[in-house]
Amino acid sequence: MFSSTGTIAMGSDHSEERELALEYIADAWNNAETDGIETEALSHAALFAALATMVRAHGEEETARLIASLPARIANGEYSLDRSIQ
């Protein structure tokens, strides 16, 4: 099960709205898992939807720059759900 609790750094722009949005995504994710959808399929669909939305809103170049920054951010733990924020 996916949980959105404490996953968005407080103090980031629009953090309350982003936390609420992530709660909606977590609910949909958990419902899909309950219906038997594999997490890998959910992951691919979520990434596609997110990237397509980013490209539509910001264009290919800006989205590509964002994606290029992901390896360092992942390595720094920004997407680890079990990390503790101090």
35 lies in a domain? yes
In a domain, 6, yes or no: no
The pTM for the full model equals: 0.71
Does residue 9 form part of some domain? Answer: no
Q: Into how many domains does the chain fold?
A: 1
Residue 4 covered by a domain = no
Q: Per-residue confidence of the chain (86 residues) as pLDDT tens digits? A: 666 555 554 445 678 998 999 999 999 999 999 999 999 999 999 999 999 999 999 999 999 999 999 999 999 998 887 766 55
Q: Is 29 inside a domain boundary?
A: yes
Instruction: State how far the Cα of 48 lies from the Cα of 22, in Å rounded to an integer.
Output: 16
3-class DSSP state of 14:
coil
Q: Is there a domain that residue 38 lies in?
A: yes
Helix ranges (DSSP H) in the chain? 15-34, 39-68, 70-75
Residue 34 lies in a domain: yes
Q: What range defines the domain where residue 65 resides?
A: 15-75
